[in-house]
Amino acid sequence: MNTKRPELLVVGSVAIDWIITPKAVREESVGGSATYFAMAASFFAPIRLVGVVGEDFPASTVQDLKSSGVDLEGLETITGGKTFRWKGRYHDNMNDRTTLETHLNVFEHFQPKLPERYRSSEYLFLGNIQPTLQRGVYEQMQRPRLIGMDTMNLWIDIARDELVNVLGNVDVLTINDEEARQLSGEDNLVKAARAILELGPRNLVIKRGEYGALLFDSDGDIFAAPALPLEEVVDPTGAGDSFAGGFMGYLAGQGVEPSGSVLRTAMICGSVMASFCVEGFSYDRLREIAIDDVQERFDRFAKLTDFTRASLA
């Protein structure tokens, strides 16, 4: 009997961040959408990563990813190059942030090239990169069973047509509430979701930070996953990417198609991984925990959302 688990491929940014919060500062904080996604998803499924870094990228992070079971054949190191760097300051509420510096460096000319064995990956997540690059990744692959995708305000603004072209191939689109409103032109999130689903994706996840996330599925159902109330948030960077990693990782680990209760469970797995991420800088907390910790927090979410339906009479 073949017990090999399906691989989940993520293509996205790998970065070094300078994070400033009201309580602390970290000047060399490894980040990037693919990094957070891979670390979160690795608890559920075998992960393959495609990205690009410079020679300044920490060898310790490469080892951390490998130790978590992440396949790094697709991580390209540019000789003499510098890794994508971002500097940002979080405001007192830890929800809003201001970008202070962005240096694309080697990421500016990133052209994802998939190793031959990656092309048969059954699950694919297209991280937040230019839509034409996302399409180029999809065209290098054999038909995956499930394709997830993220995007951002910049691409909605300057590459909308290319973005919409990619959406027709996507099973699950994950974006935040601001991006949903911008993409749809609707302020109301229910109307926004309806408009976005008409553009092509079969399911939509709208991430809402400390207010949780909303799932709008292909059957027309809506599911709300809460965020776990935490006493302290250290660094919100990467929470959305960790959510996507938990969400897609669960689906890949189960080897299933996105539907009904499976999608709802994946939403909770995403919320679990996001809740761990924000408790430390970079992927620190994701590195510290074990699968038993993930299960314990999953159970906490189950209690948080459980209720007994009683008569209103």
Q: What pLDDT score does 256 carry?
A: 77
For the chain, domains (ranges, CATH) are: 8-303 (3.40.1190.20)
Q: Is the pLDDT of residue 3 over 60?
A: no
Q: Is the pLDDT of residue 307 over 90?
A: no
3-state helix, strand, coil in the chain (%, to 5): 40, 25, 35
For range 110-117, the mean pLDDT: 96
Q: What is the CA radius of gyration of the chain?
A: 18
Q: What pLDDT score does 209 carry?
A: 87
Residue 219 Cα to chain centre, angstroms = 23
Q: What pLDDT score does 290 carry?
A: 96
Select the more confidently predicted residue: 258 or 44: 44
Give per-residue pLDDT as tens, 197-249. 999 999 999 999 889 999 998 788 999 999 999 988 999 999 999 999 999 99
Give per-residue pLDDT as tens, 128-139. 999 999 999 999
Q: Is the pLDDT of residue 260 over 60?
A: yes
Give per-residue pLDDT as tens, 43-97. 999 999 999 999 999 999 999 999 999 999 999 999 999 999 999 999 988 888 9
**Tokens 């749809």 belong to which residue?**
184
- For residue 17, which of 25, 7, 8 has the smallest C-alpha distance? 25
Residues 6+ apart with CB under 8 A from 67: none
Give per-residue pLDDT as tens, 177-206. 999 999 999 999 999 999 999 999 999 999
- Cβ-contact 133, 112 below 8 angstroms: yes
Q: Is the pLDDT of residue 109 over 80?
A: yes
Percent of the chain with pLDDT over 90: 85
For range 287-311, the mean pLDDT: 87
Going by their DSSP bridges, the two strands 213-216 and 222-225 should be labelled as antiparallel
**What is the average pLDDT score of the chain?**
93
- For residue 278, which of 23, 81, 8, 65 has the smallest C-alpha distance? 23
Which amino acid, one-letter code, is at 87?
K
Distance CA(64)–CA(297), nearest Å, equals 23
